[in-house]
Amino acid sequence: MASLDWLVLAVYLGGMIALSIWLARGQADDADYYLGGRRIAWWMVGISIVATQSSAISFVSIPAFVALRPGGGLSWLQYELAVPLAMLFLLLFLVPRLRRRNLVSVFEFLTERFGVGTGRLLAVVFMLSRGLATGIGVYATALVLSPMLGWHLPATILLIGVVAIIYDTIGGMKAVVVSDVVQMALIVGGAGLAIAVAWGEVGGAGAAWAALGEERRTAAQWASGLGDGATVPFWAYLVGGFFLYASYYGTDQSQVQRLMATASPREAQRAVLLGGVLRLPLTLVYLTLGVAVGAVFQASPELQAAVPADKLDALVPQFILLYLPAGVKGLVLAAILAAAMSSLDSAINSLSAVTMRDFVEPWLRPGDAARLRWGKITTVAWGALVTAMAFGAGSIDRTVIEAINKIGSAFYGPVLATFVLGLVTKRVRGGGMMAGVAAGVGANLTVWLAGWPIHWMWWNVLGCAVTTVVAFAWPTRGATAAVRPTGGEVVAVEAGVSRRNAGLILGGGFLFTLILVLAF
């Protein structure tokens, strides 16, 4: 990289840290830190939702899927098919009901509905899945930056982890959302610059489109059944995608937490709507980038030699390194960092919020100063743990975008089933719900580890169905009541499921999930 590129990068990093310091002024308690005082504008939250989706993973892996991944191409558009259906479900059903409860951690609702065991079980499931996915995000960003910086991958991972920890610990949720608005402009601008350079190399947009293989121009694969685990069947993305998006946008702490930062349930609905509207145009930008850079790849032996067959995500990083001029390279690099920051800061903040609200705060004495201090300590701890997870992320899949969605699909169905059952029926009790979650996650991980030829989008449906069936089939005796003692912790009393048995169910489900994840 030239000196000008280093200058652009330094200005960006310094500006983001300065912004977080400025936004942290007046930060007095954990509500300010995790929710921005519930005063963040809905349109900023909506843009933040899209910016979080526009991670470095998207910047790197979607173009690689379009240009190089076997069975890939424009079929990635199918991934967007279920977004309108999921957003309609969230707008009419899930978001207003959860937002009215003024939660900090979304799992507080499950604690009140099913008891402490269920709330903490789902919190652990979230922390496992989000921690792994965020670790992959750190890896994906390091994969982009390592060849451009001329650093070894482990050193680059450490750099990204340290920057993320500093930024997020200082600013909290307000800095997450406001910086996402700035970062969104950089993401779109950086991708646009890369597309323009690629078009210039191959002779324009028409030439880039002509270079795309005929088999990659198919946007919909009208395959029926479960798929073969490699192709992208239409119905898997439509049906499975509904469960994935409904769970991610409606129950994932990293998304729901920013919706809780709006001023009212109506503003939370508006934020969800804006996020859904903006998602498709941004996906089209990434698809265009894949077509453009893929055309350069077809015509350039130098670029072909720089992209290993087992590391297809190196396509965009190597294109930036070989073809972008000084200054422009720095701007695009800043855009990739912006994409990474928009995902990492919100994930670490949400992991910290769940840890504090569901596990640490019951042990603290009342006092805003202590809670804020411990909140920042847990943010640092999660940042360090996520950075450690990143070192093993490279072996998960050929393209990182698939790896992170596989992890999500293993957990999203059971989580969605838990929230929906908690809202629509009193038939299911805490013990049955914990057993259902353990069975649903276990079923998905078994399919994954066994290598069954089922496309991962169907895992969202499978996990939801297994969780629902087991939860309803679980014997129930009496009713569940939730009481809140003066100490603040919600305690569930369930006839027929003793505290000891509930603890065994929780511990067994967690241990089973952890063993499968470690085996993978």
Mean residue pLDDT of the chain comes to: 82
Residue 195: pLDDT band (50, 70, 90) is: very high
* Residue 500, pLDDT above cutoff 70: no
- pLDDT of 394-405, one tens digit each? 555 445 556 667
* Domain 3-519 -> CATH class: mainly alpha
H helix count then E strand count, the chain:
22, 2
* Over residues 146-154, mean pLDDT: 83
pLDDT at 480 over 60: no
How is 154-203 classified by DSSP, letter by letter? HHHHHHHHHHHHHHHHHHHHHHHHHHHHHHHHHHHHHHHHHHHHHHHHHT
Q: Are 393 and 135 in contact (CB under 8 A)?
A: yes
Of the candidate ranges 354-358, 409-413, 448-452, the one whose mean pLDDT is the lowest: 448-452
Give me the pLDDT at residue 490, please.
41
pLDDT over threshold 90, residue 421: yes
- Cα separation, 343 vs 189, whole angstroms: 18
Going by their DSSP bridges, the two strands 480-483 and 491-494 should be labelled as antiparallel
Nearest to 126 by CA among 353, 456, 336, 328: 353
pLDDT of residue 223: 59
Confidence of residue 242 (pLDDT cuts 50, 70, 90): very high
Q: Note the pLDDT of residue 484.
A: 42
So what's the pLDDT on residue 459? 92
- For the whole model, what pTM was predicted? 0.81
Most confident of the ranges 150-154, 174-178, 469-473, 475-479: 469-473
Give 509's pLDDT tier (boundaries 50, 70, 90): very low
Distances 400 to 74, 190, 199, 397 between C-alpha atoms, Å: 17, 20, 25, 6
For residues 352-371, give the mean pLDDT. 81
For residue 492, give the 3-state DSSP assignment.
Answer: strand
pLDDT at 241 over 50: yes
Instruction: Look at residue 224 in the predicted model and tell me its pLDDT.
Output: 53
pLDDT tens across 25-59, in order?
A: 777 777 888 998 898 999 999 998 888 777 777 88
Span of 166-170, 222-226, 405-409, 471-475 with lowest mean pLDDT: 222-226
State residue 489's pLDDT score.
Answer: 42
With a cut of 60, say whether residue 503 has pLDDT above it.
no
Write the DSSP string, 19-81: HHHHHTTT--SHHHHHHGGG---HHHHHHHHHHHHS-HHHHHHHHHHHHTSTT-SGGGGGGGT
Confidence of residue 95 (pLDDT cuts 50, 70, 90): very high
Domain boundaries, the chain: 3-519
Instruction: Answer whether residue 511 shows pLDDT above 70.
Output: no
Question: Per-residue pLDDT tens for 263-321?
Answer: 999 999 999 999 888 988 999 999 999 999 999 999 999 999 998 887 888 899 889 98
What was the pLDDT predicted at 263? 92
